[in-house]
């Protein structure tokens, strides 16, 4: 084949176009990689700024975005991992500070509330004692039909219904206001929480409602403590009485104490969890 001048020019132009195309591709690839790296560094910088401002949620979001949006930016991903450890450390230190602050406030409130209660504990049978309202002691609540309440050291409240005379064999209670609003317990059949005994003068039925068995009865009495409330003992038949002001007040006080003690227990748990996480982060970083 004879190569003419025009053919040589054609091949030279073709070769030049190829190298031009190759140079353009290299430039585009370089710019693309540089852009990805620059954007990944931007996210890292923004995460660092969010950490310094105490916005830990935003900082974690920015760090997670680096792995998702720039999977080839290995340096920034590794730096993001180290930064995430710092974020988690700072977040847990903040949680501990918050818990300590709230525990201080709650213990002050607890000191005030406990003035209304008597601490009762039988060391032979109880690991933890109960707080009993002073205005409604357990040992005097047998003199009339009604409710009595107490709160454990760990914050669990219970209500006991006391009914003397007859053989109603009740296992549920219902509290109702004049407008028809009501709360009704679940039936209690567990041995030890539903028992009966007799004295020389009368027979008694005592049923304990706690946890899910209460089914909102204590909260209902607390909410409507300023209104007349009727109490129904439900068993073979139903007997209804009106709750006394003393009983309503005792249950309301117990409800408030229970809520406060449970909140304290939750704060102590959250603080302990954060302390454990800090120890883990320190050990994993060493």
pLDDT digits (tens, 9 = 90+) for 199-229: 777 788 889 999 999 999 999 999 999 999 9
> Is residue 277 one of the residues assigned to a domain?
no
Condensed to tens digits (0 to 9), the pLDDT of residues 15-57 reads 455 444 444 444 344 434 444 455 889 999 999 999 999 999 9
Structural domain harbouring 194:
130-270
What is the pLDDT, as a whole number, of residue 192? 66
Q: Residues 263, 136: one domain?
A: yes
Instruction: Tell me what the mean pLDDT of segment 156-179 comes to.
Output: 91
**Least confident interval from 50-54, 69-73, 109-113, 281-285:** 281-285
Residue 87: CB partners within 8 Å, gap ≥ 6?
Answer: 47, 51, 56, 59, 60, 63
3-state helix, strand, coil in the chain (%, to 5): 55, 20, 25
Residue 257: CB partners within 8 Å, gap ≥ 6?
Answer: 110, 113, 114, 116, 117, 131, 151, 155, 157
> Is residue 53 one of the residues assigned to a domain?
yes
pLDDT at 78 over 60: yes
Question: What is the value of pTM for the model shown?
Answer: 0.79
Query: What's the number of domains the chain is made of?
Result: 2
In whole numbers, what is the pLDDT of the chain averaged over residues? 86
- Reported as a pLDDT band with limits 50, 70 and 90, residue 285 is low
Condensed to tens digits (0 to 9), the pLDDT of residues 258-275 reads 999 999 999 999 999 999
pLDDT at 1 over 70: no
Q: Are 147 and 162 in contact (CB under 8 A)?
A: yes
Instruction: Tell me what the mean pLDDT of segment 178-190 comes to.
Output: 93
Q: Residues 72, 177: one domain?
A: no
Instruction: Tell me what the mean pLDDT of segment 270-282 comes to.
Output: 95
> Is residue 124 one of the residues assigned to a domain?
no
Q: Residues 185, 251: one domain?
A: yes
What is the pLDDT, as a whole number, of residue 168? 84
Q: Residues 106, 213: one domain?
A: no
Q: CA 194, CA 81: separation in Å to the nearest integer?
A: 57
Q: Which residue has the higher pLDDT, 231 or 196?
A: 231
What is the pLDDT, as a whole number, of residue 200? 72
């Amino acid at each position: 084949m004879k190569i003419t001048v025009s053919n040589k020019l054609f091949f030279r132009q073709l070769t030049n176009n190829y190298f031009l195309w190759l140079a353009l591709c290299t430039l585009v690839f370089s710019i693309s990689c540089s852009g990805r790296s620059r954007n990944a560094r931007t996210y890292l910088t923004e995460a660092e700024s969010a950490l310094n401002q105490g916005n830990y949620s935003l900082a974690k979001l920015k760090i997670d975005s680096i792995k998702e949006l720039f999977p080839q930016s290995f340096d920034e991903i590794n730096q993001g991992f180290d930064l995430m450890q710092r974020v988690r450390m700072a977040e847990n230190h903040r949680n501990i500070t918050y818990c300590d602050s709230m525990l201080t406030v709650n213990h002050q409130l607890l000191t005030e509330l406990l003035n209304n209660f008597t601490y009762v504990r039988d060391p032979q049978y109880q690991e933890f004692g109960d707080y009993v309202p002073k205005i409604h002691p357990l040992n005097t609540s047998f003199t009339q039909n009604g409710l009595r309440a107490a709160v454990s050291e760990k914050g669990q409240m219970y209500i006991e219904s006391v009914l003397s005379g007859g053989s109603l064999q009740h296992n549920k209670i219902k509290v109702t206001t004049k407008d028809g609003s009501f709360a009704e317990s679940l039936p209690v059949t567990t041995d030890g929480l539903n028992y009966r005994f007799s004295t020389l003068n009368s027979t008694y039925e005592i049923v304990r409602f706690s946890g899910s068995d209460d089914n909102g009865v204590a909260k209902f009495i607390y909410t409507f403590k300023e209104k007349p409330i009727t109490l129904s003992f439900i068993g073979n038949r139903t007997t209804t009485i009106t709750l006394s002001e003393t009983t309503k007040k005792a249950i309301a006080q117990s409800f408030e104490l229970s809520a406060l003690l449970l909140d304290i227990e939750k704060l102590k748990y959250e603080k302990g969890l954060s302390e454990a996480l800090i120890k883990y982060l320190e050990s994993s970083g060493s």
